[in-house]
Amino acid sequence: MPFVSQIKRQTDYNLYSSTTPIVIDNGASNFRIGWAGENDPRVIFRNIVQRPRHKTTGETVSIVGDHDTTLLKYFDCSRSGPRSAFDSNVVYQFEIMEYILDFGFDRLGANGSEIDHPVLITECILNPVQSRSKMAELLFETYGVPSVAFGVDAAFSYKYNQQHGICDKDGLAICPGFTTTHVIPFIDGEPVYKGCSRTNIGGYHVTDYLKQLLSLKYPHHMARFTWEKVEDLKMEHCYVATDYASEARLFQKGTKEAEEKTRCWQLPWVPPPVEEPPSEEEIARKAAIKERQGQRLREMAEAKRSTRINELENQLRGLEFLLQQLEQVEESEIPYFLKDTGYVSRQEIETALAKATQSLRKVKGEPKGEQAEVEEKTDEKYPLVNIPDNMLTQDQLREKRRQMFLKTTSDGRQRAKQKRVEEDLERERKNQLDEQKRLENPELYLGEMRTKYKELCEKVEQRKRLKTNGNHSNGNGMSGGVGRGERLNAAQRERMRLLTTAAFDRGKGEDNFGAKDEDWQLYKLMSKDNDDDDEGPDEDETELARVSSRLQEIDPTFVPKPESGPSQSAADMPRSRPLTKEDFQILLGVERFRCPEILFHPNLVGIDQTGLDETAGVSMRRLSSKDQVLEERLTNSILMTGGSCLYPGLSERLEAGIRMIRPCGSPIKVVRALDPVLDAWRGASLYAAAVQFPQQTFSRMDYFEKGEDWLRGYQFQYNL
């Protein structure tokens, strides 16, 4: 049951006489205030204060307890979370305490000039005197309280249950609270402080543990796990396992029982709208648009082409006209004539003309044509090549050299062409051979192809790995950051090594570098040209491509391996998957009993103290009564009280745990308080209503006269 605060302002404050004590259970989680003698506290709220800033006015305000969270939208809560006045059950921030007391008294209906009632307020066991005196100071000086009494909440709860016959006058009170867990032995109805023990673990730690675990398990829903929500989840679902290990094994095996025990919290989830396939009309419309655009582009290209043709034709005509004109001009007059045309000689004009015709042809899309024809004429083109040097003049020699150069280049081109043709033929032959093989025995052929493909794949991959030096010994595999050195390939690394050794060798010992010829070899090794990084695809790769394309043709089931490693694509897969209902489910399985387990094993959250059952043993040891009968009486009346003992299964577990540390056959009885949460306040209320209560208080006069040091000796009698 989730906690609901009661903060309605009471109206009957003035009906109580000034002798009626006000009872306050000042717990680390909840603050409860009410009138002595009544059965229930009037006002209950969470013992926290927030001091946010108002968004529009900018003033800092105090908000006590938990309120409707929707109202907090007017405030800027980002800078101050909820704060508590407690640290390990000890009040240490009295400013916060004052806000809380203000709120508590205000809601109780206080309206006089001071709080004119005795106050009974609870504190933790063996509260440090400073905290106690500060509290007294606050109550006396600020609120004008006439007298104050301090008591221990667990003791009040024990006394209350004793009166109701739940437990005996000798017994143990085990009180797992919000921030601490106390074990208090009672002898003759009085707590024995000597035997008390405290473990600094409580409901706060359980909730925090659950919150952390859930946000680590579901990092996408982290924002959902607010403190209040997780607290509710804890109260609703958590239980204590009778035996942690066997319970966990149940879940590990995934048995049906475990499945039944798993709880599921469905977060609000709206299925994404189903995308309808586009209608016929839509498709047609889109196709039309595309077609129109294509048409426009084509038109544009056509227009561009025609202008270009026009231009070139004009140029051609101009050049032809120029040539015709040149026919009529004297040889010597040519330079003069050509002065303002930009050309220098007749030859130049001719070449320009040839170029223009060629580009015109290209634009018009006519075949190149005379390529072969040109080549036919090679011999005539290079007339000087075959004539010996000594028969030529100086100019002719130069010309010959030029011709030689042209001839070799064109020859080379021709050779390359021939080679290409031959290769084509070869490939064709191979394909035919393949086809023949396939027709002979398709199954065998397919198998062969597949093995070949696999082999090649491996080969290529290995090569790649060698090149990139895929050092996968890094334990984190893909996820781990790749170190600097691992990006270098083998050759680069070798160079690095050489450079560093060379640099390191300098300056130590005598320098005899260069004495031998081999020494200079080092520079060659160091030079960057050594890297054969980009040599293009090697034959293995081309063969692989051929085989895979062939396989794709003949084998419908064949799927070529993706280029980038399979891991990457696998990582990409879930991201593209649409979110389903299951993604918005918070499953509580092992967490249900793992979190309360920290009460028994505080080392799970790094607190090196005894667990609940062991602490009971520690308390008995501290009593050191050596009285077997008394110890048996104690274990025969173990009372669990405090908010964290509400988990189902706690009493069984506690009993089993205490049985383990007690002598065989000793009687053990573990009972839960009537109401573990409110019994402390009820006990205090009963106590404050008793006639003897005024003798247990100390007054304002005492405080002013005796000072705070007197509080050190202040001891409360719980037996009235």
Partner 1 sequence: MEAELINAELVLPTHFSFKRIQIYEKYPKGQPRGRWKHLKQILQAENYQNCPPDEPNYVNIESPPSMHPPLRICDITGFEAPYHDPRTNLRYANTDVFKLVRSLPNEHVQRYLALRNAAVTLK
With beta carbons less than 8 A apart as the criterion, state whether 240 and 645 touch: no
Which of 27, 151, 185, 611 binds partner 1 (CB under 8 A)? It is 611
Which of 178, 204, 251, 647 binds partner 1 (CB under 8 A)? It is 251
Closest CA to 215 of 205, 227, 203: 227
Which of 29, 122, 147, 199 binds partner 1 (CB under 8 A)? It is 199
Is residue 160 close enough to count as binding partner 1 by CB under 8 A?
A: no
602 or 683, CB closer to partner 1? 602
128 or 694, CB closer to partner 1? 128
| Nearest distance in Å: CB 657, partner 1 | 9
- Dist. CA 415–CA 418, nearest whole Å: 5
657 or 676, CB closer to partner 1? 657
- What burial class does residue 343 get, using C-beta atoms within 10 Å of its C-beta: 0-12 exposed, 13-18 middle, 19+ buried? buried
* Radius of gyration in angstroms for the set of CA atoms belonging to the chain, rounded to a whole number: 48
- Dist. CA 518–CA 10, nearest whole Å: 102
Q: By CB under 8 A, what part of segment 177-196 binds partner 1?
A: 183, 193-194, 196
- Interacting span for partner 1 (CB under 8 A) from 309-317, 318-326, 429-437, 606-614: 606-614
| Nearest distance in Å: CB 676, partner 1 | 21
Which of 5, 62, 410, 492 binds partner 1 (CB under 8 A)? It is 62
59 or 443, CB closer to partner 1? 59
Is residue 103 close enough to count as binding partner 1 by CB under 8 A?
A: yes
Is residue 161 close enough to count as binding partner 1 by CB under 8 A?
A: no
Is residue 476 close enough to count as binding partner 1 by CB under 8 A?
A: yes
| Nearest distance in Å: CB 611, partner 1 | 6
Q: By CB under 8 A, what part of segment 228-247 binds partner 1?
A: 244-245
Closest CA to 593 of 246, 175, 228: 246
With beta carbons less than 8 A apart as the criterion, state whether 599 and 495 touch: no
Task: Note the Cα 479 to chain centre separation in Å.
Answer: 13
With beta carbons less than 8 A apart as the criterion, state whether 641 and 157 touch: yes
Which of 147, 157, 610, 697 binds partner 1 (CB under 8 A)? It is 610
- Dist. CA 56–CA 558, nearest whole Å: 67
Q: By CB under 8 A, what part of segment 113-132 binds partner 1?
A: 113-115, 124-131
Alpha carbon separation from 177 to 89, 170, 351 (Å, rounded) = 9, 22, 103
Which of 163, 252, 351, 695 binds partner 1 (CB under 8 A)? It is 252
142 or 358, CB closer to partner 1? 142
| Nearest distance in Å: CB 702, partner 1 | 18
Is residue 5 close enough to count as binding partner 1 by CB under 8 A?
A: no
110 or 638, CB closer to partner 1? 110
Residues touching partner 1, count (CB under 8 A): 82
Is residue 87 close enough to count as binding partner 1 by CB under 8 A?
A: yes
Give kind and range of the element (H or E) at residue 24: strand 22-26
Is residue 80 close enough to count as binding partner 1 by CB under 8 A?
A: no
With beta carbons less than 8 A apart as the criterion, state whether 183 and 172 touch: yes
Q: By CB under 8 A, what part of segment 41-60 binds partner 1?
A: 54, 57
With beta carbons less than 8 A apart as the criterion, state whether 122 and 159 touch: no
With beta carbons less than 8 A apart as the criterion, state whether 581 and 271 touch: yes
Helix orientation angle between 346-364 and 280-327, rounded to the nearest 10 degrees: 160
Q: Which phi and psi angles does 102 have, rounded to 5°?
A: -50, -50
Is residue 105 close enough to count as binding partner 1 by CB under 8 A?
A: yes
Is residue 204 close enough to count as binding partner 1 by CB under 8 A?
A: no
| Nearest distance in Å: CB 199, partner 1 | 5
CA dihedral 556, 561, 563, 567 (to 10 degrees): 130
| Nearest distance in Å: CB 143, partner 1 | 6
Is residue 99 close enough to count as binding partner 1 by CB under 8 A?
A: yes
Q: By CB under 8 A, what part of segment 655-674 binds partner 1?
A: none
| Nearest distance in Å: CB 210, partner 1 | 11
With beta carbons less than 8 A apart as the criterion, state whether 263 and 586 touch: no
Which of 483, 536, 574, 606 binds partner 1 (CB under 8 A)? It is 606
178 or 244, CB closer to partner 1? 244
Is residue 93 close enough to count as binding partner 1 by CB under 8 A?
A: yes
With beta carbons less than 8 A apart as the criterion, state whether 224 and 638 touch: no
With beta carbons less than 8 A apart as the criterion, state whether 644 and 29 touch: no
- Interacting span for partner 1 (CB under 8 A) from 22-30, 290-298, 335-343, 595-603: 595-603
Helix orientation angle between 442-468 and 539-554, rounded to the nearest 10 degrees: 140
Is residue 209 close enough to count as binding partner 1 by CB under 8 A?
A: yes
Is residue 574 close enough to count as binding partner 1 by CB under 8 A?
A: no
315 or 609, CB closer to partner 1? 609
Long-range contacts made by residues 75-84, C-beta under 8 angstroms, separation at least 24?
76/52, 77/50, 77/52, 79/52, 79/53, 80/50, 80/51, 80/52, 81/50, 82/46, 82/48, 82/49, 82/50, 82/227, 83/48, 83/49, 83/50, 83/51, 84/28, 84/47, 84/48, 84/49
Is residue 608 close enough to count as binding partner 1 by CB under 8 A?
A: yes
